[in-house]
């Protein structure tokens, strides 16, 4: 009897748990969150209850309730003179009119909430985009602001994949741009190849239909050429701009083109079917289990003394229940796996234990790879330990960091942190391949980045000439993107705390890759307490509030970024004391004095003789904004990314940087 009840209770609790899980998952999916949105500050703010706000509300509610079939493109204006509001709504080409309207309605509600007073804003969902502004936006090709997303799965047959993808994108862009229906500029298609084992790539490209053929081509060309930067070797990717967007995946993610616009039954994507199938199964099992328990209890109530019947019923029932549990678990697992590969945003559901195992390296393997940690393999003494170059038996070259200081935390915590850090993947971050935990040894295994670090080039009087402005500008952009990812785009908010030229590595194409991120998590440096003894970081790069009081935030990383930018432009170390007018001047006060006196070109590295003055001046300006004393005045990395990518973004004037106000330099040990 007891066994039956326990078993019933057990299976019920599992079913309720699963049911709850499914309900939570399906509700989370229903919550509309933008893929990305930008509140654009350029055009200023409107005040609450102003005519502008009123016009905006009228316009947007008209747009999102518009029942005309506009082929997914809506452009309206409303209001007079300075209070005129312009809005554009664009739905993906395969989206049905009612879905489109709902999507635009959701966008309207969310965008005005997220950007409460901005005159200009833009937001993207999977199915639609909404943007509005006080300036005219109709018929203008715009590439900023934009974002990219990539599917983290890695392609193995890179060359074939890229060739097939290139063909597909070329075909689609021509089809979309030269669309003979002036109301839609949209194309989808697929391409496969015998050399790719007939694996198929699916693509989608779309322009807003107000663009000319040439403008649409230009916009798409820009987006397609960016694939190699955001999504190279990735199974899927998107580049999304105000005027156009592209996406490719290894599974069909769009509905096939329909001839009529009549609403038909929604064709669900494969994972949707899978989920509902699992749901049905679980409901079925729940009902089954319920009835079997009732029957059992009834039988027991009547024949509680007959032990033969008990065994005859209990044994098969327990077996059936256990089997049901097993089947349900397997179904759910398979479901999770099938979704992991297909959805960009759902990558975290992998089996962590399996990953942890695949990330763990054997100490012996690393010993062999690094020639027993030989002196010849030593790359340098980085923060927290010596770094060795190694080569795995597979031929892959790696960098191994042998942690020298006690991490102060247990093996399980260490593993968990490595797992989290290994999930951070971005082309401007050095990739963490795994770890090794054996005999008190703690090793971190990274991808090997061949061209050393930034400080090796920019401070060397001869080597600095190898970095012309175009390269340095690319490096600044790379660092900004990597840091933005750490701060905002990854699931974890990582504050680097030790960003400096020595921690910016350069790959074979001289792309910047940030290293040593997340060390504070791994080494359990006190995260909350004000304790200057445990401050990690490098003096000179540290924001005053961090150096003096141990207070760190994303804004202290922004400070380090600003220092780095000024170093890259000037080719001077922050720590180097320049002999300026006033005897001793460090880089920040030197830059500030020259900025104030209108002689800022003095700080530019003379070897940058033919770089774009415009870009250099903009970067100096950004650098000075980042090193301001008051952290509230420093921009966020998201704003910096925008400043770097959009010339129309007007930047505020910088206030005095930290160093020249005093205190910082004198308080350093």
Ligand X SMILES: *[C@@H]1O[C@H](CO)[C@@H](O)[C@H](O)[C@H]1NC(C)=O
Residues taking part in catalysis:
498
Give the count of alpha carbons within 13 A of 274, CB side only.
Answer: 15
Burial label, 38 (beta-carbon count in 10 A; 0-12, 13-18, 19+): buried
Residue 53 binding ligand X, by CB under 6 A? no
Site string for ligand X, 245-274 (x = CB under 6 A): -------x----------------------
Tell me which residue has its CB nearest to ligand X. 44
Beta carbon of residue 641, minimum distance to ligand X (angstroms, whole number): 16
Q: CB-based contacts of 63: which residues, under 8 Å, 6+ apart? A: 74, 76, 87, 89, 104, 108
- Which of 299, 325, 324, 302 has the alpha carbon at shortest distance from 312? 299
- The answer to whether 512 touches 428, Cβ cutoff 8 Å, is yes
Q: Per DSSP, which regions of 65-220 are E strands?
A: 73-78, 85-91, 118-124, 128-133, 147-154, 185-192, 200-207
Residue 258 burial (CB count, 10 A): 11
**Quick one: which of 2, 27, 28, 68 contacts ligand X (CB under 6 A)?**
68
Tell me the two tokens of residue 85: 């509001």
Question: How many C-beta atoms surround the C-beta of residue 367 within 10 A?
Answer: 17
Residue 204 vs 420, nearer CB to ligand X: 204
119 is an interface residue for ligand X by CB under 6 A: yes
Residue 31 or 533: which CB sits closer to ligand X? 31
Q: Does 376 bind ligand X (CB under 6 A)?
A: no
Q: By CB under 6 A, is residue 372 in contact with ligand X?
A: yes
Q: Could you tell me which residues are beta bridge partners of residue 512? A: 506
Q: Which residues contact 168 (CB under 8 A, 6 or more apart)?
A: 189, 190, 191, 201, 203, 248
DSSP character at residue 453: B
Measured from the CB atom, the residue of 94 and 545 that comes closer to ligand X is 94
Out of 19, 36, 45, 525, which residue is the one contacting ligand X (CB under 6 A)? 45
Nearer to ligand X by C-beta: 520 or 642? 642
Closest distance of CB 626 from ligand X, Å: 17
Which residues have a Cβ under 8 Å from the Cβ of 287 and sit 6 or more positions away? none
Nearer to ligand X, 22 or 63 (CB): 63
Q: Which stretch binds ligand X (CB under 6 A): 64-72, 305-313, 384-392, 479-487?
A: 64-72
- Tokens for 168, please give them: 């597909």
Distance CA 121, CA 39 (A): 5
Q: From residue 596 to residue 635, what is the string marking binding to ligand X with x (rule CB under 6 A)?
A: --------------x-x-----------------------
Among 135, 303, 334, 491, which residue interacts with ligand X (rule: CB under 6 A)? 135
Instruction: State the minimum distance, in angstroms, from the CB of residue 73 to ligand X.
Output: 7
Q: Is 450 in the site for ligand X (CB under 6 A)?
A: yes
Return the range that interacts with ligand X (CB under 6 A); candidates 111-119, 564-572, 597-605, 632-640. 111-119
Nearest approach in angstroms of CB 128 to ligand X is 13
Q: By CB under 6 A, tell whether 76 contacts ligand X.
A: yes
Q: Is residue 181 near ligand X by the rule CB under 6 A?
A: no
Interface with ligand X in residues 80-109 (CB under 6 A)? 82, 102, 105, 109
Could you give the C-alpha distances from 596 to 63, 104, 543, 590, 592, in angstroms and in order? 48, 47, 21, 10, 6
Least distance (Å) between residue 525 CB and ligand X: 29
> Nearest approach, Cβ of 35 to ligand X (angstroms)?
19
Query: Using the rule CB under 6 A, which residue among 54, 57, 117, 553 binds ligand X?
Result: 117
Min dist. Cβ of residue 364 to ligand X (A) = 8
| 49 interacts with ligand X by CB under 6 A | yes
Instruction: Verify binding: residue 44, ligand X, rule CB under 6 A.
Output: yes
Cβ burial of 320 (10 Å; 0-12, 13-18, 19+) is middle
Paired strand residues for 131: 88, 122
Long-range CB contact pairs, 16-21, < 8 A, 24+: 18/282, 18/328, 18/332, 19/282, 19/286
Which listed residue (508, 581, 598, 669) binds ligand X by CB under 6 A?
508
The answer to whether the beta carbons of residues 475 and 510 sit under 8 Å apart is yes
CA angle 209, 210, 216 (to 5 degrees): 70
* Chain positions contacting ligand X, by CB under 6 A: 41, 43-45, 48-49, 58, 62, 64-66, 68, 75-78, 82, 102, 105, 109, 116-117, 119, 134-135, 138, 189-190, 252, 367, 372, 450-451, 466, 508, 610, 612
């Amino acid at each position: 009897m007891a066994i039956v009840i326990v078993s019933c209770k057990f299976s019920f609790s599992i079913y309720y748990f699963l049911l709850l899980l499914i309900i939570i998952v399906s509700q989370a999916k229903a919550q509309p969150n933008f893929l990305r949105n930008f509140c654009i500050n350029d055009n200023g703010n409107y005040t609450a209850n102003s005519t502008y706000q009123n016009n905006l509300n009228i316009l947007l509610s008209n747009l999102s309730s518009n029942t005309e079939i506009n082929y997914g493109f809506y452009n309206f204006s409303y209001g007079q003179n300075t209070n005129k509001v312009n809005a554009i709504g664009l739905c993906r080409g395969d989206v049905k009119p009612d879905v489109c309207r709902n999507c635009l309605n959701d966008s309207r509600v969310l965008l005005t909430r997220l950007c409460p007073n901005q005159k200009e804003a833009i937001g993207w969902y999977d199915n639609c985009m909404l943007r509005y502004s006080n300036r005219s936006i109709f018929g203008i090709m715009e590439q900023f602001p934009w974002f990219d997303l990539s599917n983290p799965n890695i392609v193995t047959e890179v060359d074939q994949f890229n060739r097939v993808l290139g063909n597909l994108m070329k075909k689609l862009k021509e089809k979309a741009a030269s669309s003979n229906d002036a109301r839609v500029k949209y194309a989808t298609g697929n391409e496969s190849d015998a050399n790719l084992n007939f694996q198929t790539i699916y693509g989608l490209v779309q322009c807003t239909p107000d663009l000319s053929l040439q403008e649409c081509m230009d916009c798409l060309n820009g987006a397609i050429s960016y694939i190699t930067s955001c999504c190279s070797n990735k199974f899927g990717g998107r580049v999304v701009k105000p005027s156009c967007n592209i996406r490719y995946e290894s599974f069909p993610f769009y509905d096939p083109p329909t001839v009529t616009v009549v609403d038909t039954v929604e064709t669900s994507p494969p994972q949707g079917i899978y989920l509902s199938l699992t749901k049905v199964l679980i409901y079925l099992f729940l009902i089954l289990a319920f009835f079997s328990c009732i029957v059992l209890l009834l039988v027991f109530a009547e024949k509680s003394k007959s032990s033969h019947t008990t065994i005859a019923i209990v044994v098969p029932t327990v077996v059936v229940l256990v089997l049901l549990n097993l089947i349900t678990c397997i179904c759910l697992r398979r479901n999770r796996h099938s979704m992991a590969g297909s959805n960009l945003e759902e990558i975290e559901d992998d089996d962590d234990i399996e990953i942890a195992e695949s990330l763990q390296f054997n100490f012996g393997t690393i010993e062999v790879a690094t020639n027993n940690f030989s002196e010849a393999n030593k790359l340098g003494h980085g923060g927290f330990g010596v770094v060795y170059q190694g080569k795995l038996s597979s031929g892959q070259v790696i960098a191994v960091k042998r942690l020298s200081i006690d991490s102060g935390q247990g093996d399980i915590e260490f593993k968990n942190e490595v797992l989290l850090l290994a999930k951070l993947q971005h082309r401007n971050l050095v990739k963490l391949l795994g770890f090794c935990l054996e005999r008190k040894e703690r090793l971190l295994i990274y991808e090997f980045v061949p061209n050393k670090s930034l400080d090796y080039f920019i401070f060397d009087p001869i080597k600095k000439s190898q970095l012309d402005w175009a390269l340095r500008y690319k490096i600044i952009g790379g660092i900004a993107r990597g840091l933005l990812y750490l701060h905002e785009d990854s699931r974890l908010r990582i504050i680097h705390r030790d960003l400096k030229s020595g921690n910016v590595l350069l790959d074979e194409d001289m792309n910047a890759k940030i290293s040593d991120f997340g060390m504070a998590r791994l080494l359990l440096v006190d995260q909350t307490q004000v304790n200057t003894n445990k401050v990690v970081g490098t003096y000179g790069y540290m924001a005053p509030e961090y150096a003096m009081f141990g207070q760190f935030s994303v804004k202290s990383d922004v400070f380090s970024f600003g220092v780095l930018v000024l170093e890259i432009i000037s080719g001077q170390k922050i720590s180097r004391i320049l002999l300026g007018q006033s005897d001793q001047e460090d880089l920040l006060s030197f830059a500030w004095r020259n900025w104030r006196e209108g002689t800022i070109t003095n700080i530019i590295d003379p070897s940058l003789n033919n770089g774009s003055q415009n870009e250099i001046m903009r970067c100096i300006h950004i650098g000075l904004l980042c090193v301001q004393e008051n952290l509230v005045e420093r921009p966020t990395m998201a704003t910096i990314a925008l400043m770097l990518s959009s010339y129309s973004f007007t930047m505020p004037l910088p206030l005095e940087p930290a160093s020249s106000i005093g205190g910082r330099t004198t308080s350093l040990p």
